[in-house]
Chain A
């Protein structure tokens, strides 16, 4: 009975979304305020029904209602409670429901926090978000209904994919989706502005905090996914340039560009069309990501089912959204006489333009590398995979100028400035950065050019950002706005991130060994002693657990217990790596397989210097994004008002 209720409430939410997509839009066209005012109640009604449907599906999981096909396939009675809940979004159908719920929450948030906006804008923005909801809810209902019953009813469920039985899964998809879907807000604002035909700086000011928050969530989602792959897949890598990772990275890059170009458009009125285009691109790439991951075009842990009907539906939806918004853009984009204030060759505008070019070029490069194999396959050119060196090489090439120019941005004035001023301020720090790079090259063991590059990039960005803070301090009277604090944090995060990446890439040691019991292996001063493997039992699995004692200079550092688990529900074994982490290095041990009957095992031993800085940097970037959105200026009706 309850699953049917869930389905009915999903149908009702589709109805609400359909009304939301039409009535307020019609009202805005005809200047009918009664029609426009239907927007908010419809949004809340849609949210109510979606949450109800989601709650009912979650309830089916907690009571082990295996008559529901989706529950039967993705749960079983031994599954721990927390994973029963996260299993709701553990596979295709439920993850779509999560997508819809997050979209509804974002839409409701826009409805609540838009009191200061004109009715027309609110009506149009909410209607555009309603259209997106129509697309996704109908997709779920018609091709991937999570409430379908299974006959005959199985007495036991299959199980949640063991790879997904991890705390990482509880948070990774919701964070990622919150980011993806968040770009829908900037997209809706852009479409609303295009429909309206009036493109003042105002609408950008309203959409800026939303973009920042969405981007921050996406940052967290990607970082968590990377962290999860690092400790769960047992390979010790943190990024593989896998198509699925690329799918989330493209909107992230374009989102980062959008954040910067929105700042220019809001403050100076320049780059209007470009900002609109980026807003459309960021959300289109989010949709493309969903399409790539969910359609079964790509195979990976994330691609749940290959169903041509689903793929075709998303593809059609994608074409309508991208094609429609680009046509609208072509017809209504602002023409030249509306462009903003002029600027000279050396100004903050130029630097931000370079930032945008580099970030979008990077996104484009990732797009080509990700889509080319798909096109080649479709055109029968052979089955190709593009290796990670392609991405690694071109990405570093594009990020090099970005890192070099980054500290100049905040120190340069809008419109017109003297390059010598920023150079004078930054020169000592640049010298210090190069010197510390040289020191690391000659005095750090095993260091190479990448290590040096990592040190230089980190010192340069951190000190350059610090130079901005101190110069701001000296020009007394000027306060630090939330926007500046957020920017400083995010830029420092970029520095830490590149430091972590380059140090890990250049200084890591990875060794696969055949280990007899009580044998010892030395890597970078650490002695790994393998003491053997024993059997242990977990709540829904049995495991082989290895014991590896790690010493440095005869002093005990830690004892690690890597596991190889077999889940009761059957299927494949799972590697659980054991990691000992310090800020300056991770020690990583994973069990391979038994090699003989005398207790020898294949072991994976890694020493990964500074790897935590990668995620620490990402975390700082995300915090920066959140902080920026708290800037008081965004709350005002008009930027020129002295106090809100």
Chain B
């Protein structure tokens, strides 16, 4: 083989190795940081992970927001109008957090309760996240204001 061809083969091997490393890194980094979204009904049906972090989407159930006076501890229920899950959170809730609006909480299950490290409600009625909208399509058909089963 002539030297040009050898050099070219080396170049291709090098590129393949680099691409493989990059691919592996991207896959690992992505898997580590992917969080799936689940609805309260899916949580009830044990579809959500038991020990891993995930995102819980739904509506803040009316009349369930409770603060422990003088602290930042707050608890409320998230519902898809079929089932509900109790969420515990310590921290400041976002501006657009209101009873009856949709939110996404990130965290982990602890027993039957969801411990949220982050609560997002960037969106008002006009800007409901699409994922929550989809999750709530069923609820809309039910025409109910009930918060569903605990």
Contacts and interface: CB of A to CB of B under 8 A. Distances in A.
Q: Tell me, yes or no, whether A binds B.
A: yes
Interface of A: 234, 296-297, 299-301, 303, 306, 361, 365, 368-369, 372, 377, 382-390, 393-394, 397, 512-514, 516, 571-575, 592-593, 595-596, 600, 602, 604
B22 interface: yes
Given A390-B33, A571-B124, A572-B96, 17 more contacts: A299-B128, A365-B26, A377-B131, A383-B36, A383-B131, A384-B34, A385-B55, A390-B34, A394-B29, A397-B25, A512-B72, A512-B90, A512-B91, A596-B70, A600-B70, A602-B72, A604-B92
Nearest to A390: B33
A516 B72 CA distance: 12
A394 B26 contact: yes
A514 to B, nearest CB: 5
Nearest to A600: B70
Given A361-B22, A397-B25, A592 B127 contact: no
Interface of B: 22, 25-26, 29-30, 32-37, 55, 67, 69-72, 90-93, 95-96, 98, 122-124, 127-131, 134
Nearest to B93: A593
Contacts of B55: 385
Contact of B124 (A382, A389, A572, A602): A572
26 contacts: A299-B128, A299-B130, A301-B127, A303-B127, A306-B130, A368-B26, A368-B30, A377-B131, A382-B36, A382-B37, A384-B37, A386-B30, A390-B30, A393-B29, A394-B26, A512-B92, A514-B70, A514-B71, A516-B70, A572-B95, A572-B98, A573-B95, A593-B92, A595-B70, A595-B72, A600-B70
Nearest to A368: B26
A602 B92 contact: yes
B70 A574 contact: no
Contact of B35 (A361, A385, A575): A385
A231 to B, nearest CB: 14
Contacts of B92: 512, 592-593, 602, 604
A72 to B, nearest CB: 14
B70 A299 contact: no
A382 B135 CA distance: 12
Contacts of B123: 299
A604 B25 CA distance: 36
Nearest to A575: B95
B34 to A, nearest CB: 5
Contacts of B95: 234, 572-575
B119 to A, nearest CB: 12
A384 B35 contact: yes
Q: Nearest 4 A-B pairs (CB), nearest first?
A: A592-B92, A387-B33, A390-B33, A383-B37
A372 B33 CA distance: 12
Nearest to A397: B25
Contacts of B29: 389-390, 393-394
A389 B72 contact: no
Contacts, number: 88
A592 B93 contact: yes
Contacts of A383: 36-37, 131, 134
A365 to B, nearest CB: 6
A361 B23 CA distance: 11
A514 B72 contact: yes
Contacts of B91: 512
A339 to B, nearest CB: 15
Contacts of B34: 384-387, 390
A595 B30 contact: no
Contacts of B22: 361
A396 B118 CA distance: 25
Nearest to B134: A383
Nearest to A373: B34
A117 B71 CA distance: 70
A73 B53 CA distance: 39
A600 B130 CA distance: 36
Contacts of A393: 29
A397 B29 CA distance: 11
A299 B129 contact: yes
Given A387-B35, A514-B70, A394 B25 contact: yes
A269 to B, nearest CB: 21
Contact of B122 (A301, A369, A377, A385): A301
A377 B135 CA distance: 13
Nearest to B36: A382
A596 B25 contact: no
A306 B29 CA distance: 31
A608 B93 CA distance: 21
Contacts of B131: 377, 383
Contacts of A596: 69-70
Contacts of A369: 30
Nearest to A298: B130
A459 to B, nearest CB: 28
A472 B67 CA distance: 66
A238 B90 CA distance: 23
A631 B128 CA distance: 49
Contacts of A388: 33
B33 to A, nearest CB: 4
Contacts of B93: 592-593
Contacts of A372: 30
B106 to A, nearest CB: 9
B57 to A, nearest CB: 8
Nearest to B30: A390
B138 to A, nearest CB: 15
A571 B91 CA distance: 23
Nearest to B55: A385
B128 to A, nearest CB: 7
Contact of A385 (B25, B37, B130): B37
A544 to B, nearest CB: 12
Contacts of A602: 72, 92
Contacts of B96: 572
B118 to A, nearest CB: 10
A397 B24 CA distance: 14
A602 to B, nearest CB: 5
